[in-house]
Amino acid sequence: MHVLPTPRRLEIRDGETAIPPAFTWRAPREGVRAVSVLEDRLTPHSRFRRTTGDAFLTIGLDDALPTEGYRIEITDTVHVTAADERGAGWAIQTLLQLLPAQVHSGAMLRPETMRWPRCIVEDAPHFGWRGAHLDPARHFLPVDFVLRFLDVMAMLKLNTLHFHLTDDQGWRLPVPGYPRLTTVGAWRPGTVRGKQTVEEVHEHDGVPHGGAYTPGELREIAEHARRLGITVVPEVDLPGHTQSVVAAYPELGCRDDITHPRTCWGISHHVINLTDEAFAFCRTVVDTLVDLFPGSPIHLGGDECPGDQWFTHEPTRALLAARGITTPADAQRWFEEELCGYALERAERVVVWDEVLEYGAPDGVTIMVWRESATIGRALDAGFDVVAAPCAHTYLDYGESDAPDAPLSLHAPRTLEEVGRFHEVWTGLDTDGLLGGQFQLWSEYLRTPELVEHFAFPRGLLVAEQLWLGGPGVSPTREALAPTTARLTAMGVRWRR
Ligand code: TNX
């Protein structure tokens, strides 16, 4: 029996228990969503019926278990004890992985294979932030794809989707009062052809690309995630990576000749200005995120902001001069203090990329480290909460292979073995403030949902495993991962064969 992430304890005993066609269950409120996930997978093999008496599946709560922890005992019947709602959900995911892979397929199930091994499982995650990141800003991702991706995340007990909603190349978030963001700001006239080797290219393929989510779609994504035990962390990248904003609202930028989002990759110098009007816009964006994703951490970017245009835009230059600010780094520090300060009063948690730490991070923010792995320790020492997303181990937009026939990527190879060494970045650190980590799927070259899946798996399995265990776990080979990739196949995931 292979379950991934590997449970803390999985003890298989003699015998099997057939899953009955009349499936009775009993659970407190915290277990209801979890049961509905199981019901989805076992229908039409079984008809589910809730009962208050004896049941085939019972779920109970025990707050002595560690957060997100659970215990399963399968005898003639199935007993789950969970720490909380998420723990109940993870127990269900383990129960599914104790069945043949076809249970993930949505197809008919051979009745004689619907049997659980008698067993005991005791399990809990090491880290509370086990994430995956999607980038619909560079290439738009349809809602249906995001919903299916969440199903895969749940199978891997990943509990955080970092959703990068805006960038130079496209703005996907509807913001009240700023309708041009999701018309002008969401559409670029084309995309650079092939691999971009210089910073700035103006030729493109002439194929308009874009899209934006409606508020209803974002709420649907957040609700589907919640049902699976996943929190959606929306990111709006500010103050850099904002050419799409400047195209939609030139008055928020530093120049008035930008007419469309960026058509090539790399970092745009066309960023928002730092006037009151721009701050008012940024505050509205924060309010919008808090409204659409109540209770979620929100991510405010902060990476790769060339602030040179702030010193050529007269109103911004004057504001900076009045504050005695003479460098882009100090200007960004002022921006982050203002905006993060506002956001921290409204959101549970405010996350920023590690550039913000370098410029002087506001108290109370969470640092997401993407560049040097060593910054994880430095940020922890400085007293910040930290999420580990180091490019050396978790940038899955870097290709697994650099073979001539491999799909185009920013950088390659980033091998299974390198991803399997992710845990080394926290080994030996005092990890009290380390919330966990995540893998990234930046989508400059991941042009389609198929390519996103191709880059995500199997390597993403190793990230899920290490975050759950807090250490190495399963060996980073395709053979060791085969039982889980078979489940991905059943789900229709186009992972890299
Ligand atoms: C760096 S990671 C970026 C992204 C790119 C990515 C490509 C980060 C905070 N910024 O804008 O998409 O590299 O790997």
Place of tokens 């040097």: 372
User: What is the whole-number distance in angstroms between the Cα of residue 223 and the centre of ligand 1?
Assistant: 28
Give the torsion through C-alpha atoms of 95, 96, 99, 103, to 10 deg. Answer: 160
Atom of ligand 1 nearest to the CA of 389: 2
Q: Which of 352, 370, 441 to mutate to test the pocket of ligand 1 (most atoms within 8 A of CB)?
A: 370
- The answer on pLDDT for 298 being more than 90 is yes
pLDDT digits (tens, 9 = 90+) for 22-57: 999 999 999 999 999 999 999 999 999 999 999 999
User: What is the whole-number distance in angstroms between the Cα of residue 338 and the centre of ligand 1?
Assistant: 24
My answer on whether omega of the bond before 5 falls inside 30° of 0, hence cis, is: yes
How far is the C-alpha of 419 from the C-alpha of 433, rounded, in Å?
22
Q: Which of 192, 267, 304, 353 to mutate to test the pocket of ligand 1 (most atoms within 8 A of CB)?
A: 304
pLDDT digits (tens, 9 = 90+) for 453-483: 999 999 999 999 999 999 999 999 999 999 9
**Closest residue (by CA) to atom 6 of ligand 1?**
442
Which residue in 426, 355, 358 sits closest to 388, CA to CA? 426
User: What is the whole-number distance in angstroms between the Cα of residue 75 and the centre of ligand 1?
Assistant: 49
User: What is the whole-number distance in angstroms between the Cα of residue 135 and the centre of ligand 1?
Assistant: 10
Which residue in 472, 68, 228, 496 sits closest to 464, CA to CA? 472
Which protein residues are within 6 Å of ligand 1, measured from CB? 303-304, 353, 370, 395, 397, 410, 442, 444
Largest CA distance in the chain: 77
Give me the amino acid identity at 128. G
**Residue 296 near residue 275 (C-beta atoms within 8 A):** no
Question: What number is the average pLDDT over the span 183-190?
Answer: 98
Q: What share of the chain is helix, strand, coil (3-state, %, to 5)?
A: 35, 20, 45
Atom of ligand 1 nearest to the CA of 301: 9
Residue 104: DSSP 8-state: G
* pLDDT given for residue 121 in this prediction: 98
Which residue in 200, 195, 199, 174 sits closest to 186, CA to CA? 174
**Residue 210 near residue 170 (C-beta atoms within 8 A):** yes
Which residue in 348, 413, 356, 439 sits closest to 153, CA to CA? 439
pLDDT digits (tens, 9 = 90+) for 106-117: 898 999 999 999
pLDDT digits (tens, 9 = 90+) for 381-422: 999 999 999 999 999 999 999 999 999 999 999 999 999 999
Atom of ligand 1 nearest to the CA of 135: 12
- The answer on pLDDT for 1 being more than 90 is no
Q: Which of 168, 191, 303 to mutate to test the pocket of ligand 1 (most atoms within 8 A of CB)?
A: 303
Q: What is the mean pLDDT of the chain?
A: 98
How far is the C-alpha of 345 from the C-alpha of 210, rounded, in Å?
33
User: What is the whole-number distance in angstroms between the Cα of residue 146 and the centre of ligand 1?
Assistant: 20
**Closest residue (by CA) to atom 9 of ligand 1?**
303
CA 302 to chain centroid: 17
**Closest residue (by CA) to atom 7 of ligand 1?**
442
**Closest residue (by CA) to atom 13 of ligand 1?**
442
Question: 158-192 b/e with 16+ CB inside 10 Å = b?
Answer: bbbbbbbbbbbbbbbbbbeebeebbebbbbbeebb
Question: What number is the average pLDDT over the span 8-18?
Answer: 98
What is the SS3 assignment for 14? strand
How far is the C-alpha of 437 from the C-alpha of 117, rounded, in Å?
33
How far is the C-alpha of 497 from the C-alpha of 485, rounded, in Å?
9
Helix (H) or strand (E) holding 162: strand 160-164
* pLDDT given for residue 168 in this prediction: 98
- How far apart, in Å, are the Cα atoms of 348 and each of 249, 281, 289? 30, 21, 12
User: What is the whole-number distance in angstroms between the Cα of residue 45 and the centre of ligand 1?
Assistant: 45
Atom of ligand 1 nearest to the CA of 368: 9
- How far apart, in Å, are the Cα atoms of 31 and each of 115, 120, 316? 22, 19, 53
pLDDT digits (tens, 9 = 90+) for 150-177: 999 999 999 999 999 999 999 999 999 9
**Closest residue (by CA) to atom 2 of ligand 1?**
370
**Closest residue (by CA) to atom 4 of ligand 1?**
442
| Distance linking the first and last C-alpha atoms of the chain | 22
User: What is the whole-number distance in angstroms between the Cα of residue 234 and the centre of ligand 1?
Assistant: 16
**CB-based contacts of 291, cutoff 8 Å, min separation 6:** none
Helix (H) or strand (E) holding 463: helix 459-469
How far is the C-alpha of 420 from the C-alpha of 372, rounded, in Å?
17
pTM (2 decimals)?
Answer: 0.98
Place of tokens 């997401």: 368
Atom of ligand 1 nearest to the CA of 303: 9
- Burial of 404: CB neighbours in 10 Å, binned 0-12, 13-18, 19+: exposed
User: What is the whole-number distance in angstroms between the Cα of residue 442 and the centre of ligand 1?
Assistant: 7
Atom of ligand 1 nearest to the CA of 353: 9
pLDDT digits (tens, 9 = 90+) for 242-282: 999 999 999 999 999 999 999 999 999 999 999 999 999 99
How far is the C-alpha of 118 from the C-alpha of 105, rounded, in Å?
24
303 token code pair: 């990476």
User: What is the whole-number distance in angstroms between the Cα of residue 130 and the centre of ligand 1?
Assistant: 19
Can you say whether the dihedral through the CA atoms of 14, 19, 22, 26 is positive or negative? positive
